[in-house]
Amino acid sequence: MVAVPVMAAVLTWSVLTSAPQPVISVESEAAWQETLADIDTEESGGESQAQLEHMTQQLARLQTRLMRLDALGERLTELADMSDGEFDFGSDPGMGGPELLNNSLKHESPDVQSVLDRLADRIDSRTQQLKLLEKLMVNRSVDSNALLDFRPVHQGHISSGFGRRSDPLTGRIAMHTGLDFAAPRGTPIFAVGAGVVTFAGRNGAYGNMVEISHGDGYKTRYAHAHTLDIKKGDLVSKGQQIATVGSTGRSTGPHLHLEVFHKGMAVNPARHIALK
């Protein structure tokens, strides 16, 4: 009667260890088999048999959970393009240290509980890696959304660059603090980055204008618009349509005038758009 549950446990162990991706080391398997042999030689009652069955069920659940964590981790590293060895879901966490010999200590083979503890440690290691991977992916998403690299119009071309130029109305040399995108009237204008709208309306020579604050000292302006699709206080995401191209204000024809400011200083928008 003792042999029946033992044989069942051995069969369960064999099925579990035949999975495509082994998750228990040879040393742990040997410890499990040795423990089963010890139980087989003992005069065990119903309590020991119940404990063995309970341990076997625990082992199966932990192994299944670990395989799922490994599969999830490998998939996430592929999706995040981080499969360069920094995250390893296919091997045990590193361990080591000097061997301290003590002849007075009696050698005892590892028991079933030690096998379960080792599996639990592997699961904890995988969980920590997944938490770190999640944090890195969230930070990468936030950083990507904060970059001002989205092209503000999908049609047209740059008709005037950033810097000194001949003013199109007076012909005198003057500083041009943005980029001009010539495009047909009504062409959608998109936010180059995520932020909050701090101005939306008529603004003198800028005509119909939108101003967006992006944090970290950055803000963008979109001038000479025909129509405005947002209002002050709105939260906008990168690539969201905020207006349409027009020729309001001081303008010679339909175009978008884009400005980028960092801590109050105008910078060349082309440097940001070129990052895309």
DSSP-derived 3-state class of residue 170:
coil
pLDDT at 29: 55
**Side-chain half-sphere exposure of 201, counting CA atoms within 13 A:** 5
Within a domain: residue 152? Answer: no
68 and 201 both lie in a single domain: no
pLDDT at 144: 62
Within a domain: residue 106? Answer: no
231 and 126 both lie in a single domain: no
Give me the DSSP letters along 237-249: -TT-EEEEEB--S
257 and 142 both lie in a single domain: no
Within a domain: residue 28? Answer: yes
15 and 142 both lie in a single domain: yes
CA distance 37 to 171: 97
61 and 137 both lie in a single domain: yes
Q: How far apart are the first and last CA of the chain?
A: 71
141 and 220 both lie in a single domain: no
For residue 186, CA distances in Å to 125, 134, 254 come to: 55, 41, 9
CA distance 160 to 115: 70
In terms of residue numbers, what domain contains 8? 3-90+111-146
54 and 141 both lie in a single domain: yes
66 and 172 both lie in a single domain: no
Q: Of 98, 121, 146, which one is at a domain's C-terminal end? A: 146
Q: What's the distance, CA 126 to chain centroid?
A: 17
Q: Are 159 and 255 in contact (CB under 8 A)?
A: yes
Q: Are 179 and 165 in contact (CB under 8 A)?
A: no
The CATH number covering residue 224 comes to: 2.70.70.10
DSSP-derived 3-state class of residue 196:
strand
Left if phi > 0, otherwise alpha if psi is -120 to 50, otherwise beta: which for 48?
alpha
Q: Are 44 and 2 in contact (CB under 8 A)?
A: yes
Within a domain: residue 31? Answer: yes
CA distance 222 to 46: 80
DSSP code at position 23: -
pLDDT at 23: 42
Within a domain: residue 263? Answer: yes
8 and 117 both lie in a single domain: yes
DSSP code at position 203: -
Q: Of 121, 146, 171, which one is at a domain's C-terminal end? A: 146
Instruction: Find all residues with CB under 8 Å of 8, minimum gap 6, and list them.
Output: none
pLDDT at 10: 40
Within a domain: residue 96? Answer: no
Within a domain: residue 170? Answer: yes
54 and 186 both lie in a single domain: no
Instruction: Find all residues with CB under 8 Å of 173, minimum gap 6, and list them.
Output: 164, 165, 166, 167
Q: Are 237 and 243 in contact (CB under 8 A)?
A: no
pLDDT values of the chain reduced to their tens digit, one per residue, 276 residues: 444 444 444 444 443 444 444 444 445 555 555 555 555 545 455 667 777 777 777 777 777 877 777 777 777 766 665 555 555 665 555 545 565 555 554 445 456 667 777 777 777 777 777 777 777 666 555 556 667 888 999 988 888 888 888 777 777 888 888 999 999 999 999 999 999 999 999 999 999 999 999 988 899 999 999 999 999 999 999 999 999 999 999 999 999 999 999 999 999 998 888 655
250 and 177 both lie in a single domain: yes
Within a domain: residue 9? Answer: yes
Q: Count of domains in the chain? A: 2
Q: Are 165 and 176 in contact (CB under 8 A)?
A: yes
Compute how many other C-beta atoms are within 10 angstroms of the C-beta atom of residue 86: 11
132 and 78 both lie in a single domain: yes
Instruction: Find all residues with CB under 8 Å of 99, minimum gap 6, and list them.
Output: none
